[in-house]
Amino acid sequence: MLNSEEKLRALTAQAEEIIKSFLPAEEGEAADLIRAMNYSITAGGKRLRPVMMEEAYRMFGGSGEEIGPFMAAMEMIHTHSLVHDDLPAMDNDLYRRGKKTTHAQFGEAAAILAGDGLLNLGYETALLAFDLTGDAQRVIRALKILARSVGWDGMLGGQSVDVALDGQEKDAETLDYIYRKKTGALITASLLIGAVLGGADDAQLDKVRQAGAKIGMAFQIRDDILDITGDEAELGKPVNSDSKNQKETYASLYGLEKSDEMVTALTAQAKVLLKETGADCSFLCWLFDKLTSRSS
């Protein structure tokens, strides 16, 4: 019987292999584009979203293979957002996860195309789930969740408001919107997709949705705190980038102590909501605690 840390390592390694299995070969006329895409997605990371997706899937009784394409798709789409977020027009960061960002390695034009390529590849990959399922309606429902979480009413919507108000003061309501969409949308969608494919009912899905929103917010506030208190070598990216880019965050708006209290409260609320589904959520609850108390 694996303990939680061992299980996390096993799930992360499994997610890594699943993601790599869907990456295109670096050959043909578009080899340079594919090389930049693959560089971006194999540069490391916690694989948080696919791990959460798979655990939610197993938690509600999923036992098939249709989860694999969605796990890979989510990480491709998430990586697309990071590639574009690092661009000179956005945060202009040169390092992520201890490696050069995509635009620093391949140039700005190649990074834009690589991000677009990963976004499209994510949808192509998710569609492969139809070949692996006995319940096409669940796959359709999961695809709707995925598409909605990425677009104007999800991650991109949050990013658009963040960019539009760059360098300007933001009130708590605006920050809440940005965090719910820019960060929280993909985390919530990861949990929901796993739960939908696993067979959760509507009442359970509502609890999962609420829990995802809470943990997504807590995760982003912890990220704000680490941008001030974190160690650059441990984080693998520059610290104080929010301050450098004159970005309003929870840490700057409320201070470190209050922000930390918010993270603790949101995490506790997310765990209660998961427990109310009636499914065995012990590992996900442990993972929530780990993610929102992380130092990197």
pLDDT (tens digit, 9 = 90+) per residue, 218-274? 999 999 999 888 655 554 545 555 544 556 789 888 999 999 999 999 999 999 999
Is 80:115 a contact under the CB 8 Å cutoff? yes
Q: What pLDDT does 241 receive?
A: 54
**Exposed (0-12), middle (13-18) or buried (19+): which is 274, by Cβ within 10 Å?**
buried
Q: What pLDDT does 234 receive?
A: 53
> Closest Cα to residue 224, out of 213, 233, 235?
235
Query: Rounded distance, CA 268 to CA 214, Å?
Result: 9
> Closest Cα to residue 60, out of 164, 161, 200, 223?
200
**Phi (first) and psi of residue 285, to 5 degrees:** -65, -40
CATH of domain 4-292: 1.10.600.10
* 11 pLDDT higher than 90: yes
**R_g of the chain, CA atoms, integer Å:** 18
Q: What is the pLDDT of residues 131-172, one digit of tens each?
A: 999 999 999 999 999 999 999 999 999 999 999 988 888 888
Q: What pLDDT does 236 receive?
A: 52
Q: What pLDDT does 262 receive?
A: 95
SS3 96: strand
The residue ranges of every structural domain in the chain are: 4-292
Tell me the pTM. 0.93
Tell me how far the alpha carbon of residue 118 is from its chain's centroid.
14
Tell me how far the alpha carbon of residue 22 is from its chain's centroid.
18
Tell me the residue ranges of DSSP E strands in the chain: 95-96, 99-100
Query: Rounded distance, CA 142 to CA 51, Å?
Result: 16
Written as six digits, the tokens of 120 are 């499209």
- 85-94, 172-181, 200-209, 229-238 — which is least confidently predicted? 229-238
Is 249:175 a contact under the CB 8 Å cutoff? yes
Q: What is the pLDDT of residues 166-187, one digit of tens each?
A: 888 888 899 999 999 999 999 9
Q: What pLDDT does 98 receive?
A: 85
Query: Rounded distance, CA 263 to CA 292, Å?
Result: 7
Q: What pLDDT does 244 receive?
A: 47
Q: What is the pLDDT of residues 16-53, one digit of tens each?
A: 999 999 999 999 999 999 999 999 999 988 999 999 99
> Closest Cα to residue 259, out of 227, 212, 284?
227
> Closest Cα to residue 54, out of 1, 15, 5, 21?
15
Unique residue bearing structure tokens 């070969």: 25
Strands 95-96 and 99-100: antiparallel
Is 248:217 a contact under the CB 8 Å cutoff? no
Is 70:147 a contact under the CB 8 Å cutoff? no
Written as six digits, the tokens of 246 are 């004159």
Is 188:53 a contact under the CB 8 Å cutoff? no
Is 79:41 a contact under the CB 8 Å cutoff? yes
Query: Rounded distance, CA 154 to CA 186, Å?
Result: 8
Q: What pLDDT does 296 receive?
A: 72
Q: What pLDDT does 228 receive?
A: 87
201's CB contacts (< 8 A; 6+ apart) are: none
